Amino acid sequence: MDPTNPLIVQSDHTVLLEVASPRASSARDALSRFAELEKSPEHIHSYRVTPLSLWNAASSGLTADEVTTTLTEYAKYDVPQSVLFEIREQISRYGRLRIVGNNLKLVLSASSAGVLAEVCADKHVRSLLGIQINETSYHVPQGSRGALKQALIRLGWPAADEAGYETGEELQFDITASLRQYQHDAVRSWWADGSAAGGNGVLVLPCGSGKTVIGLAAAAQAASHTLVIATNLLAARQWISELKSKSNIDPELVGEYSGERKEIRPFTVATYQVLTWRDPNAEEDADLETRHPHLRLFRDHKWGVIIYDEVHLLPAPVFRATAEIQAIRRLGLTATLIREDGKEPDVFSLIGPKRFDAPWKDLERQGWIAPATCSEVRVDLPEESHIEYAVADAHNRYRIAATTVSKLTVLDLLVERHKHDRVLVIGQYIDQLRAVARRLDAPLITGQTSERMREKRFDAFRSGEISLLVVSKVANFSIDLPAANVAIQLSGTFGSRQEEAQRLGRILRPKPDGEQAHFYTIVTRETVDQQFAANRQRFLTEQGYAYQIVDAHEIGRTGSSQTA
Amino acid sequence: MAAGTFAPTLLVMSSFDQPTEFSAILKKRLTDLSVENLTELIMNVPVLSSRILPPDNQDRRDDHIIYYGHHRPLSEGTLDNLARFLARDEGIHGVLDALNQLQRAIVRVTAWRDGSATMAELIDETGATKEEINAAIQGVLATFLADETDQASPHPDENESSSVSSSNIIPIRTPNTDGPHVSKPKRLAVFTLHPSVSHRVELPGVSAQRFHARSYKSQLQDILKRLGNPQRDNVKHAELLSLLVQSLSSAETVKRSIDSVSQETRDAIETLRDGKPRRIKDFTNDYYSPFNYGRYFQPKGILKEFIECGIVGLCDQSQSVWLWLESIVALNDGRLFRPVDTSLATLATQPFDPGASMSRIPAAERHARTILEAWKQKPPTALADASLGVKPIRDVAKQLGITAERAGLLANLLKEIDLIAAVTASQTGKGRNTKYTYEYRNTDASSAWQSISPLERWKSLVVSWVFATSFDEAEGLPERIQSGAYYRAELRSLRRYVLDKLLSLSESECVDATRFAQSMQYLLPAQLQTDTVATMLEIMRYLGLIYEDRGDVVALTQAGRALLLGKDIDLSSLDSQFVLQADHTIVASPHSDSELISTLERYAEVESTAGAHIYRISEERIAREIASGATAEDVIGFFSTHSNTPVPQNVEYLVRDVAKRSGCIQAGSAGSYLVSEDAAQFARVLAVKPAQLTQVAPTVAVSPLSFEQLESALQKKGIFLPAQESPTLIPLAKSQNSVKVDGPIVIDISEAQLAVEALCKREESTSTSSTDLRTRALEAALARVEQHYLAHHTESDE
């Protein structure tokens, strides 16, 4: 027991890391091999040792002794025996069930008949298995591979999937842009030397840290036909343009599979929208591919890698389709592995475990994402709205508070303050955004704006032709606006934490001169707006961003002094 | 304290047959003792300490927990109580149980040798030196067992006893010549037990002399015959018994008997040489009966040989078998024991550095609170007999990250302090078929306990352990709560005895844990096994009475020492800092001052106490605190005092926001109210001070007085209110057709009430049903009131 040590191991399997400790850095390196980073506020980061994280560590060759030694060596206080016991127990479970064979014949093999009997006692698992070969192995039907892994993980018996992957058709290209160290690390941890132990999983990196490049590098590493699934058309086109500009790929080999075009090429970028498009003529109880005909894209071509952009948004039909294509390498990319629907375990079992996670503030310190200040500007609800607000139902209360005219005055001041910057004004309510666009004489992009017009306006913003853009939540994800350095949030989807993080992400692209990014969120004081804001900020504060709270009149003062 | 260092104070037990007279003598002896000697006596006979009453006007649990007679003169009543107790069987056995191993060996050897033993015999049996034996005898004498009238000079032939000085007050007397000892030749002894004590001494086996003291002569003759003695007629019982003892004590006879049996029986006899009775079933399936041997109960095989060899005792009731102690001693060449390890008499101390990290409220206090919290949220279900099973205890142990035994201990202590209790959760069936289910719930006392200081809470846990009777360390730590379990009350004395031994070490001394347990067993062999002591030490470690992290050595913590001595406990070095972060979380050390934790819990909700304490600042809790009188500055001040890191600005804002919101709405009670739209009249009414009217709106005032009091106060100033028609509305004038009123506004109460009802109806349902007559009537009333007001206002404006 050494009070200067950086770790506190809790009996609920969380591990607290004191950032200020001299040994914090080495402890973090050791810890991150078998624990998941949960949050990283300014002083104490929280990790969690989960069965999944331990199985993951075991799959990479870490032993129970190494894990327990790390904990006891760095722990400030005695490590609870229950934690050490659990670590031994979970690590010993990994590898006792293995899925082996090849794409023609899959076998679930157990280290002992007892383990197999235990998992087979579960009806669901049994239904996913074929005939029994001997007392320690069963045939596994090809289509059951993903579902079986899901079911086994639920039972607490992870199967080591050693059946490998289909190689897919060959596609050779190189990334011409140079990769940063963390991008290299991320790709390497996903690829795992091409072994069956890697080739799947999720990389969690902050917005603006170059996830697209990592995806492209992963595809180049796999050197086989690649399918990328992006959130929307605009994002898909961004992938294509990034690919063309940062690699030596023949543009002829790149295709777009969207509502507008249905190109299937060796490197194809599709959208969630087109894949989940539902055939209106299909029966309700028809099979998945009859209802969502474009999901055939997964199987109709011999893909070597499938990349899921913004994996935290992966829709249910795509999940189900993914369960059936476990023989293809998979890569998920996201900034926040928070799913508002709580489906994180499905992401883990179908796309794969988290392979890499970089704290936002670490990348900021290294200069890979722009340093950002977050401010919450508080305005008052005008007196005339008090009664309306007080008698409104819960849903309308937020609308009244979020769209109050008081915000516009502050918005004016902020826009004035940042008149030399590239400013995004982001909001939830279209009426409010229209009013703002009129007031500021700025172009507006909402869901109703045509793709062509969106692209034109984003391009104008990127090129510097316009410096102020008003956008709805369509710009939350995957929109690359490197020049943007100020975001002003007027309203949002209630208390969504990942939306807040994504919106901050819009301005985190590193600026040429290391310039600071500014994220403002304008909040109506003493209303539900303020409560939602507190919840929205939780993810970012856990990532180490401290919100500065300022009053509207202070903006006026500093604003006027600046302009003066 | 080492054995044999008692002051040579003599208690006299002259006759156990007359306890009243005897207790009077004992009381005199006790009264004559100095406070120091009395303290020593009580210290060394644990059973006595439970007989001491607390000083007047003192709750016994508030006193030192070592014992209440610590260096203070005892009251008359207490001395009387002690004397009466010592005069009874229970007292004598209690004193015998307090002997250490050497004293016990001396007493046993003496009892075995018909109540007297020479120094040579004692040295031979115990392996101790003459000085050690003398000291041990002094210790025995200091407590009881000698008769001063029996003192005599040592016999010149007893060389070994010649060195015993007369100042040691060693009584020398001839053995009692009554009873079965009649045939014993007279001899001088160095130590003599009173015959009444003698037969109370537990021997390490079954003595034929005692066992057959009341057997029939025919039975004795039967055994004597089997041992090869000729039949004798007209012999007294005592003579026969003496003969039997002689035969059984003869090594020759015993060996001959053993040779006469089969190898199987010889092997069985060999296993019986430790003196312990064993079940006959362990050797044969045959049933033993001394009588009525019929065709069906003919003893055979090993059982037949047991009966016929004569050196083995059998009991039909317990179906057990043993080798007579006399024969065992004969086979052991006249020895009763193996030598005693007298080095265990002293606690071998080692130097000890208590270090700086002292005086924390031990984790057990926090764990106890967490258990109460957890069980408050979800009371654990009890078993059918209202016990608490292992499952809920294991669950809470897992939650706390401690062993189930520690959680079990805490659960038992909480029950001892009456903070949890089994209550009937449900009842099904009727009459004899009624079935109850129980659960453990926090008692009313639990909230009071949680409101006292952490230090007091910890003290209460320690004290409740010392006094606990619901579990026994001899059985290890409890992993469940046994309903209605009540173990021997001596446990309390034993715990205090062990604590007292630890307290006898100085702050810079410690002892090896294993050696300490062995020493305790040496000092109180009848009551303290090494396992029992090890369990007690485990409890003390958890309760923070001894250091937990010092490996195999045992030493009292500063707080533990202070608590045992009833001194103030220094808490200055507790962890009183935490880390406050911008995500509203607070991380506090697992060794945090409980006071700090208590305050923190007023402002933040617990997220985890699975080691370090993690909290999340809670708006609701802060609001509650502010509502009950705290200010934003108090809360922020607390954070900035105790946070290792600067208080994040957003946290400060949060607190100030909450404080600002607090007090926006205020409520109170008002006795009556008054409405008037006539400004002049209204001002006149407001000026009446005894009416205590406060203006709350341009035309409305309220008063804490009842309507009658208000009316009376105004009447005194010549202002008359109209008669009250409703207890809540006080009109200033009756309804009149004319709107031209001189003075206050006119309201028709019945109309107004109908109007209010109509308004409420409108709120409830926006679409008023046209068929609802009542609603229509209400609407009409509302319309009339509205018209009325309109007219009034119009005219007034004009």
Q: B70: which 2 tokens?
A: 């610590």
Q: Answer with the residue of higher pLDDT: B781 or A472.
A: A472
Confidence of residue B410 (pLDDT cuts 50, 70, 90): very high
pLDDT at B725 over 60: no
Report angle CA A479, A485, A488 to the nearest 5 degrees. 85
Q: Could you give phi then psi for residue B256, rounded to 5 degrees?
A: -65, -45
Measured CA to CA, the distance from residue B587 to residue A43 in angstroms comes to 10
Interface contact A48, partner B, CB < 8 A: no
Question: Which pLDDT belongs to residue A270?
Answer: 94
Measured CA to CA, the distance from residue B192 to residue A84 in angstroms comes to 61
* Run of H or E residues at B580: strand B578-580
Question: Which pLDDT belongs to residue B10?
Answer: 31
Tell me whether residues B581 and A44 touch, CB distance under 8 A.
yes
Side chain identity, residue B270: E
Nearest chain B residue (CA) to A551: B653
Q: Residues in chain B whose beta carbon is closer than 8 A to a beta carbon of chain A?
A: 398-401, 403, 549, 579, 581-585, 587, 590, 608, 610-612, 614, 645, 648-650, 653-654, 657, 661
- B207-236 pLDDT, tens digit per residue, is 888 888 888 888 888 889 888 888 877 888
Tell me whether residues A549 and B400 touch, CB distance under 8 A.
no
Confidence of residue B1 (pLDDT cuts 50, 70, 90): very low
Which residue in A512, A499, A511 sits closest to A538, CA to CA?
A499
Task: Among A85-99, A140-154, B137-151, B746-760, name the most confident range.
Answer: A85-99
- Chain B interface test: which of A4, A7, A9, A43 (most B C-beta within 10 Å): A43
pLDDT at B99 over 60: yes
CB-CB neighbors (< 8 A) of B657 in chain A: 525-526, 530
Measured CA to CA, the distance from residue B213 to residue B584 in angstroms comes to 82
Residues linked to residue A269 through DSSP beta bridges, in sequence order: A228, A256
Residue-wise DSSP of A368-423: SS--EEEEEEEEPPPHHHHHHHHHS-HHHHHHHHHT-THHHHHHHHHHHHTTTS-E
CB-CB neighbors (< 8 A) of A9 in chain B: 611
pLDDT at B530 over 70: yes
Measured CA to CA, the distance from residue B735 to residue B745 in angstroms comes to 10
pLDDT at B12 over 60: no
Confidence of residue B379 (pLDDT cuts 50, 70, 90): very high
pLDDT at B788 over 70: no
Tell me whether residues B579 and A44 touch, CB distance under 8 A.
yes
The Cβ of residue B787 has, within 10 Å, a number of other Cβ atoms equal to 10
CB-CB neighbors (< 8 A) of A83 in chain B: 401
Tell me whether residues B608 and A14 touch, CB distance under 8 A.
yes
Which residue in A52, A369, A367, A330 sits closest to A207, CA to CA?
A369
User: Please, are residues B661 and A526 in contact by the beta-carbon 8 Å criterion?
Assistant: yes
Confidence of residue B120 (pLDDT cuts 50, 70, 90): confident
Q: Answer with the residue of higher pLDDT: B366 or B638.
A: B638
Tell me whether residues B650 and A41 touch, CB distance under 8 A.
no
User: Please, are residues A416 and A563 in contact by the beta-carbon 8 Å criterion?
Assistant: yes
Confidence of residue B354 (pLDDT cuts 50, 70, 90): low
User: Which sign, positive or negative, has the C-alpha torsion B27, B33, B34, B39?
Assistant: negative
User: Please, are residues B469 and B487 in contact by the beta-carbon 8 Å criterion?
Assistant: yes
Q: B669: which 2 tokens?
A: 């009670």
Average pLDDT over residues A482-495: 86
Quickly tell me which residue has 């157990």 as its tokens: A110
Question: Which pLDDT belongs to residue B754?
Answer: 56
Nearest chain A residue (CA) to B394: A82
* Nearest CB to A10 within list B549, B610, B649: B610
- Of A296-300, A558-562, B411-415, which range is least confident? A558-562
- Of A364-368, B14-18, B435-439, which range is least confident? B14-18
Report angle CA A433, A439, A444 to the nearest 5 degrees. 40
* Nearest CB to B590 within list A77, A525, A542: A77
Confidence of residue A415 (pLDDT cuts 50, 70, 90): very high
Tell me whether residues A80 and B612 touch, CB distance under 8 A.
no
Confidence of residue B162 (pLDDT cuts 50, 70, 90): very low
User: Please, are residues B365 and B373 in contact by the beta-carbon 8 Å criterion?
Assistant: no
Question: Which pLDDT belongs to residue A515?
Answer: 83
Residues linked to residue A357 through DSSP beta bridges, in sequence order: A204
- In Å, how far is A44's CA from the nearest CA of chain B? 8
Which residue in A160, A156, A227 sits closest to A195, CA to CA?
A160
Average pLDDT over residues B564-592: 75
Question: Which pLDDT belongs to residue A546?
Answer: 76
Question: Which pLDDT belongs to residue B604?
Answer: 92
User: Which sign, positive or negative, has the C-alpha torsion B313, B314, B315, B320?
Assistant: positive
- B257-293 pLDDT, tens digit per residue, is 999 999 999 999 998 988 888 998 888 888 888 765 5
User: Please, are residues A248 and A275 in contact by the beta-carbon 8 Å criterion?
Assistant: no
Measured CA to CA, the distance from residue B40 to residue B575 in angstroms comes to 40
- Chain A interface test: which of B360, B583, B665 (most A C-beta within 10 Å): B583
Tell me whether residues A549 and B653 touch, CB distance under 8 A.
yes
Tell me whether residues A82 and B398 touch, CB distance under 8 A.
yes
Side chain identity, residue A440: L
Tell me whether residues B583 and A8 touch, CB distance under 8 A.
no
Side chain identity, residue A373: T
Interface contact A11, partner B, CB < 8 A: yes
- In Å, how far is B370's CA from the nearest CA of chain A? 14
Edge-to-edge strands, sheet with A547-551: A444-445, A468-471, A423-426, A486-489, A517-524, A372-379, A547-551
Average pLDDT over residues A381-398: 84
Nearest chain A residue (CA) to B619: A531
* Nearest CB to A10 within list B579, B584, B612: B612
Edge-to-edge strands, sheet with A36-39: A7-9, A14-18, A44-48, A36-39
Q: Could you give phi then psi for residue A258, rounded to 5 degrees?
A: -140, -170
Residue-wise DSSP of A472-491: -GGGSSS---TT--EEEE--
Interface contact A9, partner B, CB < 8 A: yes
Tell me whether residues A9 and B611 touch, CB distance under 8 A.
yes
Confidence of residue A547 (pLDDT cuts 50, 70, 90): confident
Question: Which pLDDT belongs to residue B786?
Answer: 57
The Cβ of residue B62 has, within 10 Å, a number of other Cβ atoms equal to 11
Tell me whether residues A41 and B581 touch, CB distance under 8 A.
yes
- In Å, how far is A545's CA from the nearest CA of chain B? 8
Which residue in A437, A385, A448 sits closest to A408, CA to CA?
A437
Q: B690: which 2 tokens?
A: 């005894």
**Do the bridges between strand A305-308 and strand A329-334 make them parallel or antiparallel, or are there none, so unpaired?**
parallel
Question: Which pLDDT belongs to residue B785?
Answer: 55
Which residue in B559, B589, B565, B566 sits closest to B577, CA to CA?
B589
* Nearest CB to A42 within list B399, B582, B611: B582
Average pLDDT over residues B494-507: 87
- B623-642 pLDDT, tens digit per residue, is 988 888 888 888 988 888 78
How does the average pLDDT of chain B come out, rounded?
76
* Run of H or E residues at A548: strand A547-551
Question: Which pLDDT belongs to residue B520?
Answer: 93
- Chain B interface test: which of A14, A86, A380 (most B C-beta within 10 Å): A14
- In Å, how far is A506's CA from the nearest CA of chain B? 22
DSSP 3-state of B237: helix
Tell me whether residues A8 and B610 touch, CB distance under 8 A.
no
Measured CA to CA, the distance from residue A19 to residue A15 in angstroms comes to 12
* Nearest CB to A43 within list B398, B581, B653: B581
Side chain identity, residue A371: P
Residue pairs spanning A and B at CB distance below 8 A: 79
Rg of chain B's alpha carbons, rounded to an integer?
Answer: 42
Average pLDDT over residues B661-687: 75
Give percent of chain B above pLDDT 90. Answer: 12
Question: Which pLDDT belongs to residue A312?
Answer: 82
- B14-51 pLDDT, tens digit per residue, is 344 556 777 787 788 788 888 887 877 877 787 787 67
Tell me whether residues B611 and A549 touch, CB distance under 8 A.
no
Question: Rounded to the nearest 10 degrees, how much is the dihedral formed by the CA atoms of A102, A107, A111, A113?
Answer: -170
Side chain identity, residue B706: S
User: Please, are residues A523 and A376 in contact by the beta-carbon 8 Å criterion?
Assistant: yes
Q: What is the ipTM of this complex?
A: 0.71
Average pLDDT over residues B328-349: 83
The Cβ of residue A377 has, within 10 Å, a number of other Cβ atoms equal to 23
Question: Which pLDDT belongs to residue B159?
Answer: 39
Tell me whether residues B610 and A12 touch, CB distance under 8 A.
yes
For chain A, give percent helix, strand, coil, nearest 5.
Answer: 45, 20, 35
Measured CA to CA, the distance from residue A106 to residue B86 in angstroms comes to 84
Question: Which pLDDT belongs to residue B146?
Answer: 44
Average pLDDT over residues B421-431: 88
* Nearest CB to B549 within list A1, A8, A39: A1
Average pLDDT over residues B183-208: 69
Interface contact A538, partner B, CB < 8 A: yes
Q: Answer with the residue of higher pLDDT: B70 or B431.
A: B431
Average pLDDT over residues A441-448: 90
User: Which sign, positive or negative, has the C-alpha torsion B684, B688, B691, B697?
Assistant: positive
- In Å, how far is B110's CA from the nearest CA of chain A? 53
* Nearest CB to A547 within list B590, B614, B650: B650
Which residue in B260, B252, B359 sits closest to B308, CA to CA?
B260
Rg of chain A's alpha carbons, rounded to an integer?
Answer: 25
pLDDT at B168 over 50: no
pLDDT at A348 over 70: yes
Residue-wise DSSP of B740-767: --SSS----HHHHHHHHHHHHHHHH-SS
**Longest C-alpha distance within chain A, in Å?**
84
Give the CA distances from residue A339 to residues A201, A315, A344, A476, A499, in Å, rounded to whole numbers and listed in that order: 16, 11, 6, 15, 11
Q: A261: which 2 tokens?
A: 């075009």
DSSP single-letter state for residue B281: G
CB-CB neighbors (< 8 A) of B583 in chain A: 39, 41, 538, 541-542
The Cβ of residue A394 has, within 10 Å, a number of other Cβ atoms equal to 7
Question: Which pLDDT belongs to residue A43?
Answer: 84
Question: Which pLDDT belongs to residue B475?
Answer: 86
Q: B529: which 2 tokens?
A: 């096994």
Measured CA to CA, the distance from residue A514 to residue B793 in angstroms comes to 70
Nearest chain B residue (CA) to A43: B581
pLDDT at A252 over 90: yes
Tell me whether residues A41 and B582 touch, CB distance under 8 A.
yes
Measured CA to CA, the distance from residue B437 to residue B427 in angstroms comes to 6
Question: Which pLDDT belongs to residue A79?
Answer: 85
Question: Which pLDDT belongs to residue A319?
Answer: 79
Measured CA to CA, the distance from residue B32 to residue B28 in angstroms comes to 6
Question: Which pLDDT belongs to residue B175?
Answer: 37
- In Å, how far is B645's CA from the nearest CA of chain A? 8
* Nearest CB to B401 within list A80, A526, A542: A80
User: Please, are residues A544 and A42 in contact by the beta-carbon 8 Å criterion?
Assistant: yes
Average pLDDT over residues B290-304: 73
DSSP 3-state of A543: coil
Report angle CA A42, A45, A46 to the nearest 5 degrees. 145
Quickly tell me which residue has 């709350």 as its tokens: B696
Side chain identity, residue B526: A
Q: A86: which 2 tokens?
A: 């659990």
Side chain identity, residue B131: E
Give every CB contact of residue B778 below 8 A, 6+ residues apart in sequence.
B754, B755, B757, B758, B761
Measured CA to CA, the distance from residue B354 to residue B570 in angstroms comes to 14
- In Å, how far is B406's CA from the nearest CA of chain A? 14
Give percent of chain B above pLDDT 70. Answer: 75
* Run of H or E residues at B534: helix B530-543
Confidence of residue B152 (pLDDT cuts 50, 70, 90): very low
Interface contact A550, partner B, CB < 8 A: no
Tell me whether residues B611 and A39 touch, CB distance under 8 A.
no
pLDDT at B151 over 90: no
